[in-house]
Structures are given as C-alpha cells and as structure tokens.
Amino acid sequence: MIKIARIREGSGDIKAFVDIETPQALIKGFRVVESDSGCFLGLPSRKGADGKHHAQYIPCDALKAEIEKIVMEAVLNFQPTDKIELSDLAIQVHTRLHRGDDVILGKKTMKFKDGKVRALDVLGYRFITQNPEKNTKDGIRAQKGTTITWVLRNQEWLGKVVDGVYKTL
C-alpha cells in the first residue's frame, strides 16, 4: 500500500514536494510540476557532475500511475498551512484567473456568462471573478477594468482580491 509520508509546498512551477511510503521503502523527492497542459508528477532525481538531473527512482508504468493518482489527489486536497497564507493563494489564483489560464494548480478553470466569469475550486476554496454585467458597485468597477476575485469556503464569503490586493470580508 502506498501512502503519503509528507507534502511540502513548492514555489513557481513546482507546486509541491511529496515523499511517499511503501511497505518496502520511504521514497523522497517527488515533485508536482505545473505546465501549460496541467500538472504532472516529477520523479525523484539528483543533479549529476554533468549538470543534468538523473532519475533516482524509476517505477514500472503501472506503479507510476498508482503513485501519480495518490500524489495528485493528496496535493489537490492539501490544505494551506501557516506556510501558505490564504491571501497569498488568493492573489496567485486571482492573477492567473484574470490572465486567462485554463489550468491552475492542476485544476481546470470553469467559465460562465460566455467566459466573462471564471471560477476555480482548489484546496477547499472557490475563487470566482466578479461578473462585470452585475449592476453592483463591484460589477461597475469590473466594467471599468478593475480585476476582482471573490474567495469562498463552504459557501461562506471570506474575502476578495481587488487589483492584486487581498481584503478580508
């Protein structure tokens, strides 16, 4: 049985570092890497004297698929800790939603209202861009070019990001 031994937040394109445990071994150094086509599992590797990275562990295809499923599920369900503030996560998601990214943190974004409203469910939160067609204060601001993203958890409004600045509600 494979289980997660540890998950640590990454930075940049590396979303997380993951160590797994099998009945036979503890294997450290998996990376969840985000690319334009979504997230993929990077196998443990070390930089050699030639400056290139060389795999330290190469599982068979069936085992790799099982590890990838377990790791991706764990990373997608990983809850932010003190190392990741909700404000930092919200600003990152806000920037990428308004930039038009289709995949963020391994999750496909949702589009509503002919693409004018975008949303993402990740790490237990829902991030949703302001509908510029709403006749509200924020809707009018969005019509004028202000970027606004709302943050919810369990249908509770927690905060919003306005032009890259997080505000708690």
Q: What is the CA radius of gyration of the chain?
A: 19
How confident is the model over 18-64, as pLDDT tens digits?
Answer: 889 888 888 999 998 887 777 888 999 999 999 998 988 888 888 88
DSSP 51: S
Q: Find the mean pLDDT for residues 163-168.
A: 93
How confident is the model over 93-109, as pLDDT tens digits?
Answer: 999 899 888 877 767 88
Residues whose CB falls within 8 Å of the CB of residue 165, separated by 6 or more in sequence, listed in order: 91
Which is nearest to 88 in space by CA: 10, 147, 164, 154?
164
- What is the residue-averaged pLDDT of the chain? 86
Band (17; pLDDT cuts 50, 70, 90):
confident
Count of Cβ atoms closer than 10 Å to residue 128 Cβ: 19
* All structural domains of the chain: 3-76 (3.30.1120.40), 86-168 (no CATH)
- The pLDDT value given to residue 52: 92
Count of Cβ atoms closer than 10 Å to residue 22 Cβ: 14
pTM: 0.54
Partnered with residue 149 across adjacent β-strands are 129, 161
What token pair was written down for 57?
């562990």
Q: Which amino acid is at 116?
A: K
